A and B are shown apart, each in its own frame.
Chain A
Amino acid sequence: EAGVAQSPRYKIIEKRQSVAFWCNPISGHATLYWYQQILGQGPKLLIQFQNNGVVDDSQLPKDRFSAERLKGVDSTLKIQPAKLEDSAVYLCASSQGRGHETQYFGPGTRLLVL
């Protein structure tokens, strides 16, 4: 069974530029999560999708971050414009359902904003 796929693996941009990350969850997984992991900290949830609907985006900085999962499968997370403090690893995870279902994580996209 293929795991959660993410691309790109690494990205370097200048501040005020825009960037997009892509995630393809495990086949059949209805729930998809985006987390932000700043160096030296644990991952922090940004947004949760159930199929193509948003369940929780309370910690998403909506003035600059956006995410979509239009067909209920893969997802894109965008930052526009990027700030220095957005430098982090962006992790995508998926689970079969909600609640206490095990979340399976992708390898992450490491973003450096200069």
Chain B
Amino acid sequence: AQSVTQLDSQVPVFEEAPVELRCNYSSSVSVYLFWYVQYPNQGLQLLLKYLSGSTLVKGINGFEAEFNKSQTSFHLRKPSVHISDTAEYFCAVSGGGADGLTFGKGTHLIIQP
């Protein structure tokens, strides 16, 4: 069985400051890792995904994430956030023959002016 832990339910940060949203996963098999974003009153949208290869993955809107197998982590980062980044961010995992995504509980990113 797979599981995802997002360590922070809320992360407040000032506009133009850097941010890191933490994600740890548990799995006994090789996994694929994803970050999705959910803007207010909108559906989930893929930010980026790690399948294989380079452990640093770049996504949309200036976000990037680094896969760390030894620490079973896939933290999301952005060097400078904007008000428009206010949203709920979900880390997810799939693999081991299962296509469906197992999601974490989400992290609410709050941008303060």
Residues of chain A touching chain B, judged by Cβ–Cβ distance below 8 Å, are 3-4, 31, 33, 35, 40-45, 48, 55-56, 91, 93, 95, 98-108
A-B contact pairs, 28 of them (CB 8 A): A3-B43, A4-B43, A33-B100, A35-B101, A40-B105, A41-B106, A42-B4, A42-B90, A42-B92, A42-B103, A42-B104, A42-B105, A43-B90, A43-B101, A45-B100, A45-B101, A48-B99, A56-B99, A93-B44, A98-B99, A99-B32, A101-B99, A102-B49, A103-B101, A105-B36, A105-B44, A105-B45, A107-B42
Closest to A107 in B: B43
- B43:A56 contact, CB within 8 angstroms: no
Q: Is B94 an interface residue (CB 8 A)?
A: yes
Chain B CB within 10 Å — which of A40, A45, A98 has the most?
A45
A-B contact count (CB 8 A): 55
Q: Is B102 an interface residue (CB 8 A)?
A: yes
- Other-chain contact of A100, B36, B51, B102 (Cβ < 8 Å): B51
- Other-chain contact of A55, B36, B42, B45, B99 (Cβ < 8 Å): B99
Closest to A3 in B: B43
* Complex alpha-carbon distance, A105 and B92, angstroms: 14
Closest to A106 in B: B43
Closest to A6 in B: B43
Given contacts A56-B98, A100-B32, A100-B51, contact A43 B103 (CB under 8 A): yes
Query: Which residues of chain A have C-beta atoms less than 8 A from B90's C-beta?
Result: 42-43
Q: Is B46 an interface residue (CB 8 A)?
A: yes
CB distance from A29 to the nearest CB of B (A): 13
Closest to B98 in A: A56
Query: Which residues of chain A have C-beta atoms less than 8 A from B49's C-beta?
Result: 100, 102
Closest to A41 in B: B105
CB distance from B74 to the nearest CB of A (A): 14
Query: Which residues of chain B have C-beta atoms less than 8 A from A35's C-beta?
Result: 101
Query: Which residues of chain B have C-beta atoms less than 8 A from A44's C-beta?
Result: 103
Tell me the chain B residues, 74-101 only, with Cβ under 8 Å from chain A: 90, 92, 94-95, 98-101
- 8 more contacts with CB within 8 A, not counting A31-B99, A42-B90, A43-B101, are A3-B43, A42-B92, A42-B106, A44-B103, A45-B100, A45-B101, A103-B101, A104-B46
